């Protein structure tokens, strides 16, 4: 019957070796690879982190400014589209019915504006060549 293998029956010895003189030269080789000051490397890393953080803050500020500017431009463009698209109806209308239609349309637009998003703002955003994905990318930093 085959005997069950038992790890304790193995002779416990180190089967590994090293190149000749490896440990004699180890200290010299290790020391030659170290920076002069122990914290020099860490300080460099710290300054990089600080630099990175300040860069991130500046980038964030820049993104917020860009977003506010775009939002303002979108509002102005929205107003411009509204005036140009509804203007001719108002100007060309001869009776009170077309004026009322224009006003009704305006009211609908105002109701939609309360939800913050309507076809005009969509047009305005398209005009500015900006879509939601772009805004999310800029805000999340993916575009950086």
Residue ranges that bind other proteins, judged by CB under 8 A: 2, 4-7, 10, 12-19, 22-23, 26-27, 29-31, 33-42
**Residue with Cβ nearer other proteins (48 or 55):** 48
Give the separation between CA 5 and CA 13, rounded to whole angstroms.
18
**Residue with Cβ nearer other proteins (40 or 79):** 40
Give the separation between CA 117 and CA 125, rounded to whole angstroms.
11
**Residue with Cβ nearer other proteins (49 or 72):** 49
- Residue 112 in contact with residue 121, Cβ under 8 Å? no
Minimum gap (Å) between residue 18 Cβ and other proteins: 6
With CA atoms as reference, report the closest residue to 127 among 89, 82, 62, 97.
82
**Residue with Cβ nearer other proteins (12 or 94):** 12
- Residue 86 in contact with residue 105, Cβ under 8 Å? yes
In which element (H, E) is residue 45 found? helix 40-92
Cα 6 off chain centre by: 58
């Amino acid at each position: 019957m085959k005997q069950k293998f038992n790890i304790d029956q193995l002779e416990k010895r180190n089967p590994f070796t090293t190149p000749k003189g490896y440990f004699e030269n180890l200290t010299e080789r290790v020391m030659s690879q170290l920076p002069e000051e122990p914290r020099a490397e860490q300080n460099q890393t710290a300054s990089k982190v600080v630099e990175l953080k300040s860069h991130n803050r500046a980038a964030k500020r820049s993104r917020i400014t860009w977003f506010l500017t775009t939002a303002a431009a979108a509002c102005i463009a929205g107003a411009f589209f509204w005036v140009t698209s509804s203007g001719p109806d108002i100007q060309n209308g001869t009776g009170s019915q077309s004026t009322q239609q224009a006003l009704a349309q305006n009211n609908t637009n105002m109701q939609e504006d309360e939800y913050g998003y309507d076809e005009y703002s969509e047009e305005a955003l398209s005009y500015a060549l900006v879509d939601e994905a772009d805004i999310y990318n800029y805000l999340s930093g993916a575009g950086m």
